[in-house]
Amino acid sequence: MKKSERAEIILKELKKLYPSPPIPLDHTNAFTLLVAVVLSAQSTDKKVNELTKELYKVADTPEKMKELGISGIYEYIKQLGLSNQKSKNIYLLSKLIIEKFHGQVPNSFEELESLPGVGHKTASVVMSQVFNIPSFPVDTHIHRLSQRWGLTNGDNVKQTEKDLKNIFPISEWNTLHLQIIFYGREYCTARGCDGTKCLMCRTLYPKRKKKFICKKP
């Protein structure tokens, strides 16, 4: 089966399963989504949503977040991994958004990635889900599934992102990255599927018998 044929199957099946996938991180505006994505690094979306529910009651704007201060932010997110650094980053990015961007989350990759704690993946999520700019954020779920499904040979998320953008139509990127995440969490999990068990893996590689070893990002 050619890569293009696998891509067609993937698009078709994921559209059936997740016709309108929601953003997994709870938010009320561009700023709260940005904060949630920064906090989600090495943490589950479920835990982030649990903690930001209380945080956003008191600080859902850069101005209010800055007023909380680093120690104040920490009190709300201390259960998360890397909470000390995340508290500092959230405070500093809030301060920078106020001082440099007039209190508004910037809408370019360059400006977003200039904010503390904001890498390319985080910027891609904001660009795609807030500003509807075609982007393909690649997290560990997408990196793993892209390898299992024969869409990339890349051993890093940067190469995987490039390969996926070359394979799929630009009109599909913003929705497809969410669809792959949901499928990865529900069916093609790190431990529950080894490239031979879930329906997608069996459909794309019906003759695969051995466990597929993914390259870690």
- Angle, vertex CA 197, rays to CA 194 and CA 199, nearest 5: 125
- Alpha helix (H) ranges present in 26-172? 30-39, 45-58, 62-77, 83-101, 109-112, 120-129, 140-148, 157-167
Q: Six-digit token pair at 133?
A: 């700019």
Residue 177 is inside which H or E element, if any? Answer: helix 173-186
- Of the candidates 133, 213, 148, 158, the one whose C-alpha atom is nearest the C-alpha of residue 183 is 148
The DSSP call for residue 171 is G
Residue 10 is inside which H or E element, if any? Answer: helix 3-17
- Angle, vertex CA 22, rays to CA 193 and CA 213, nearest 5: 20
Contacts of 4 (CB under 8 A, 6+ apart): 167
CA pair distance 190, 193, nearest whole angstrom: 6
User: Which residues carry out catalysis?
Assistant: 121, 139
